[in-house]
Amino acid sequence: MQRSFILSSLSLLLLLLGWHSLAVYQQSPTLPTPVVVIEVLIAEIQSGDLWHHLSATLYRLFISFSIAMSLGCGIGILLGRYQNWDYFFDNWLIIFLNIPALVTIILCYVWFGLTETAAILAVVINKLPNVIVTIREGTRALDKSLLDMAKCYQFGKFKTLQHVILPQLHPFMMAATRSGLALIWKIVLVVEMLGRSEGMGYQLHLFFQLFDVASILAYTLAFIAVMQSIELLLLKPLDRTVKRWQK
C-alpha cells in the first residue's frame, strides 16, 4: 500500500517535471507551464465559469450514462438469455456498433434540431451498443448449474435476477461502467462542440479558436480530477463491497 502510493506519486511528479522542463525549453505560448495552467484553473474556478460549464457536461454525462446503462443491461440480458432475440437483433447491433459517433450526432441534430434531447439521444445511441455487447457476453457466461439450482428451488424470475444473475454480471457491469464513462464524456464534448452553447465541449471549441492552450489544459485537468474522484469515491468502494465474499 505504502510502496504503491510512493511509486504512483513519483510517476506523477516525473510527468509534471517533464512537462515543465519541456515548456520552459520551448518558450512557446502553445505550451504553457503547469504553473500557468494551475493559475488559469484557479481563475476559472473563482469566476464560476468552470463550474457552469463542467456541471452542464456532467449533467449530460449522468443522464445519458444512466439511460445507456439501464437500457443496455436490460437488452443485453435479454439477448444473452434468449437465442432467438439474439439472432434477430445481432445485425442491428453490428450496424450501430459501427456507425461513427460523428454521424449519429450530426443526424440527431439534423433530424431533431439543436436541442438538449437530441444531444443526449446522440450520446445514448453511441454508448448503448457497447453496453449491450458487454452484458450479453456476461449473460452467456452465466453459470448454468446455479440457474438450475434456482429453478429447482423455485426462486422465480425476480429472485433469480437479484440473487443469481446480477451478482454474476457485476464484473461485466463494472467493465461497461468504466469504459462507458471514458467513452461517453468524449462523445458529450463533441456533441457540445457541434450544437450546444454551454459545456466543456463548447468552451474547448471557443479556446481553440482563440488558441488559448492554457485554458484548454486547465479544463482538461479539472475534468480528469472529476473522473478520478468518481473512480476513487464511487466505483472502487462499490467494487469492494460487492466483492467481499471473494477469497
Partner 1 sequence: MSHLSINITDKSYSQQPLKQVIKNLQLDLYNHEFVCLVGKSGCGKTTLLNILAGLDDDYTGHISLDNTHNPKIGYVFQNPNLLPWRTVTENIQLAAKPDAKTLAFLLANMGLSAEKDSYPEHLSLGMQRRVSIIRAFANQPDLLLMDEPFVSLDSPTARQVRQLLIDLWQQRPHKVLFVTHDLREAITLADRLIFLDSQPMAILADVKVSLAREQRQQDSQIDSFKQRLFIDYPQIKHLL
Q: Which residues bind partner 1 (CB under 8 A)?
A: 145-146, 148-149, 151-155, 159, 163-164, 167, 242, 244-247
The smaller minimum CB distance to partner 1, of residues 89 and 155, is found at 155
* Pairwise CA distance, residues 201 & 193, whole Å: 5
From the CB of 245, what's the least distance to partner 1, in Å? 4
Nearer to partner 1, 3 or 244 (CB): 244
Q: Which is nearer to partner 1, 52 or 151 (CB)?
A: 151
> Nearer to partner 1 by C-beta: 131 or 169?
169
Least distance CB 149 / partner 1 (angstroms): 4
Distance of CA 72 to the CA centre of its chain: 14
Distance CA 167, CA 172 (A): 10
Distant-in-sequence, close-in-space partners of 121: CB < 8 Å, separation ≥ 6: 108, 112
CA gap 51, 107 in Å, rounded: 30
Shortest distance, CB of residue 15 to partner 1, whole angstroms?
Answer: 39
Contact call for residues 14 and 195 (beta carbons, < 8 A): no
Minimum distance between the CB of residue 135 and partner 1, rounded to whole angstroms? Answer: 18
